[in-house]
Structure 1
Amino acid sequence: MVTRVATFTSHTLLSNLALSNAAKLTDLSNQSASGYKSRSYAGIASDTQQLLNIEGSLTRNDQYLNNITQVKLRLQNMESATDSLTDIATRMKTLLLQGLSNSQASDLNLDEEGNQALDQVTSLLNTTLDGRYLFGGGTTDTAPVNLAAAPLPDTYFATVAGSDSATLGALGGTTAGSLDINGQTIAYTPGMTAKALANAINSLSPPPAIASVRADVGTPNYRLVIEDFSGNAMAISETGGGNLLDGLSHNPAPSTDAGYYQGDQKQLSARIDEDYSIKYGVRADDPAFASLISGLQIMSKTTDETSLRIALGHIEYAIDNLPNVTSKIGIDTKNVETVESQHQDFSVFANNAISDIENVDVPLTLAELEQYNTALQASFLAISKSADNSLVNYLR
């Protein structure tokens, strides 16, 4: 076919339209086969920057989701361990009550039961996940509990008849004075309650000892208990002329070892959002764990009834407070899951946005492909017809 001057313009126009249709047909054919608008960024040049931004955000979002998964696994393991500790404490309480009610501590082998329970407690508080210890705070490469170094508390105590609101005068503190405990002074009066004295000791910073008023299980009485967990003998004396110390009995610690806790005072933390690093979990030095260990230590070393009642008080304290530990873990889990839900929502949004930029609607593309194929065939036919245009044909 020869293009003449008279037909050059129309031929060129028809040829360009045909080439354009052919190029579009090729693009649509590739899109329908692959499902993508283009194999390169050049094919989606106007949306490239937006796509890169979304992909970068999605990558960071996926990392936060991975971090959250790790945090949730650790919290689940902590919660499981704490639940098991509660079961142990409840079982030991039952054994102690049986032994104390019938004076059968020796017959029930309470010392052996205590030792076995201590082994279980050690294993649970030294729980690991992916080679990391969970209850040691920021120290994740060292077992947080070493019971070979666990001290029994040096303890002073007195029985409070009938109520935890009994006054110090009823305990022998009939004259106003002050106690010096490990170098810190606490003033008291005969009308002060045992509970108020315990609060005064615990409110000092740092507390020179740990004081509490606990139910003396198996009797209608309570006990004022002042304990030093350092492993050293408590330095306690009257410095203000009073006589309260005369009414306190001394249960000396049979050990002067260092504390059992080998971790640090940090909390586990993880970055779970752009500007949010969560601190989570609990440490093995939590007072509930410490009381359980102290109670079991006493239980494992003596059959003395007074000492066993103090051990029972520790275990009662642990039973009362372990649910608070579980609740703390549950709150951390809930906080993490709230952030996780936000990231999952963003993941859905981002993937949909990326799909809108990168992907094609295949059925719609196939329909459009058919239209362009028809148009291309028409272009070829028009080009063929234009080649036949001549004056002779026109005059026919």
Structure 2
Amino acid sequence: MVTRVATYTNHTLLSDLALRNAARVTDLQNQASSGYKSRDYSGIADSTQRLLNLEGEYTRTEQYLRNTTQAKLRLQSMETAVDSMITIATQMKTLLIQASSALQGDDVNIRGQARQAMEQVANLLNTNLDGRYLFAGGRSEEPAVDLDKIYAPDNYISDADVTLTDATTLTSLGITSGQIQIVSTDVDGNSVTTTVNYNAATDDIGDLRDAINSVTTNGAIASMRGLGGEGDPRLNIENVGNGSITISESGVGNLLTVLGMEKIPNPREDADYYDGDQLILNARVDDQYEVSYGILADNPAFKKLIQGLGVAAGTEDEDALVVAIGFISDAIDNLPNVQGQIGLDISNIERFEARHEDFKVFAAQAISDIETVDVPLTLAELSQHETALQASFISISRAADLSLANYLR
């Protein structure tokens, strides 16, 4: 085919239209096969910045959702653990009330039941999720509760009918001079025997307490406090750690008899069983917001439950069991508040979770609108352009056949 001056303009126009149509057909074929408008950003230059912004926010939103999911799972596990503790506390209170009944007391193995309940509570406080102990604060790689320390220290306590203060003299109580032997055994089975002398003529209860506490190797401490922290002060002689203690009288002394010293657990106010720290965990749930969440195993509600179970696990003394009921009743009153706090944390996290879920749906759709094509519509448009391209080829072919001879014919 020879392009002449007379036909050059038409030929160039037809060729240009055909080439553009062919390029469009190629683009539409690629879009129809891949589902995307372009294989690189240059194909969507007018929307590139908006796409990059949306992709960045989508990625951040996914991370926030991972954070909320992780925090919510931890809190839900903690909520379940606290719910189980409420059940345990309620059951043990019922058993303790039964044990105080003359008709049913012999049928209830209260000490065995209390020890079993104590172990269950310890296991719940040592709840582990994905390698983290949830009630241990920041020291989540170690159990929150030390099982060897969870029981109340082995303890001798004076009779409630004997009124004592530090200034009460031994003579006024009818105590004769003598000595007591204290045998203390630690959790590893190592024992120490120590003799403590007392002089009835010169000593008072404060002197006796100081004499016991001054012997640093005996593994025992003496203090004045009521049973369960209530009532008149009573003399307590207890193991320093969490082993056992045995006290006996030697010589002519009668101190243990006069004071009515009996082995009854009497928990202190501390939470020696707790091995965690005081760090409250945070979860980043939004650009400008962190949620503090979690409960520590030394929470007063848990401590009350452990103290009550510890008393019940160590004695069948009626006065002590009344104290145990008091501790456990306090725990029953306060554990729902702990559970409510956890539920509030979950609700707070879920608000941000719902917001991020909504944005994720929006962003995903916006990104899809920028990047992808409607394949059926693309195929329809492709068919139109292919038809136009074929028409362009036919037009070019026919224009090439135009000549004066053909025209005159």
Superposition TM-score tier, normalisation by shorter sequence: 0.7 to 0.9
Alpha carbons 2:221, 2:240 under 8 Å: kept: yes
| Aligned equivalent of 1:330 | 343
**Residue deviations 1:155-182 (CA, integer Å, cap 9, x gap):** 99xx9xxxxxxxxxxxx9xxxxxx99xx
Matched, 1:2 2:15: no
Matched, 1:355 2:339: no
Larger Rg: 2
RMSD: 2.9
TM-aligned CA deviation for residue 150 of structure 1: 3.6
User: Where in structure 1 do 4 or more consecutive aligned residues deviate above 6 Å?
Assistant: 153-156
The residue identity in structure 1 corresponding to 2:291 is I
Aligned match for 2:285, one of 269, 272, 295: 272
Comparing 102-111 with 300-309, greater Cα deviation is found at 102-111
TM-aligned CA deviation for residue 277 of structure 1: 1.6
CA distance in 2 between counterparts of 1:105 and 1:289 reads: 27
Aligned match for 1:305, one of 286, 307, 318: 318
TM-aligned CA deviation for residue 389 of structure 1: 2.3
TM-aligned CA deviation for residue 13 of structure 1: 1.1
TM-aligned CA deviation for residue 118 of structure 1: 0.8
CA distance in 1 between counterparts of 2:309 and 2:106 reads: 15
| Aligned equivalent of 1:377 | 390
Matched, 1:261 2:274: yes
Alpha carbons 2:111, 2:312 under 8 Å: kept: yes
Matched, 1:64 2:77: no
TM-aligned CA deviation for residue 152 of structure 1: 3.7
Alignment of 1:1-396 (within 5 A): 1-102=1-102, 108-150=108-150, 152=152, 248-250=232-234, 252=236, 254-257=238-241, 259-396=272-409
TM-aligned CA deviation for residue 16 of structure 1: 0.8
**TM-score relative to the length of structure 1:** 0.74
CA distance in 2 between counterparts of 1:95 and 1:138 reads: 36
CA distance in 2 between counterparts of 1:314 and 1:141 reads: 30
Alpha carbons 1:105, 1:303 under 8 Å: kept: no
The residue identity in structure 2 corresponding to 1:248 is D
Secondary structure at the residue paired with 1:137?
coil
The residue identity in structure 2 corresponding to 1:306 is D
Cα 1:116–1:151, aligned 2, differ >3 Å: closer, same or farther? closer
CA distance in 2 between counterparts of 1:67 and 1:251 reads: 52
Alpha carbons 1:151, 1:253 under 8 Å: kept: no
Cα 1:155–1:321, aligned 2, differ >3 Å: closer, same or farther? farther
CA distance in 2 between counterparts of 1:125 and 1:110 reads: 22
Cα 1:297–1:105, aligned 2, differ >3 Å: closer, same or farther? farther
CA distance in 2 between counterparts of 1:353 and 1:67 reads: 24
* Structure 2 stretches lacking a partner, 5+ long: 167-219, 242-270
The residue identity in structure 2 corresponding to 1:322 is L
CA distance in 1 between counterparts of 2:86 and 2:223 reads: 30
Q: How many residues align?
A: 319
Cα 1:251–1:395, aligned 2, differ >3 Å: closer, same or farther? farther
Cα 1:9–1:233, aligned 2, differ >3 Å: closer, same or farther? farther
* Structure 1 stretches lacking a partner, 5+ long: 160-171, 173-178, 181-230, 238-246
TM-aligned CA deviation for residue 362 of structure 1: 1.3
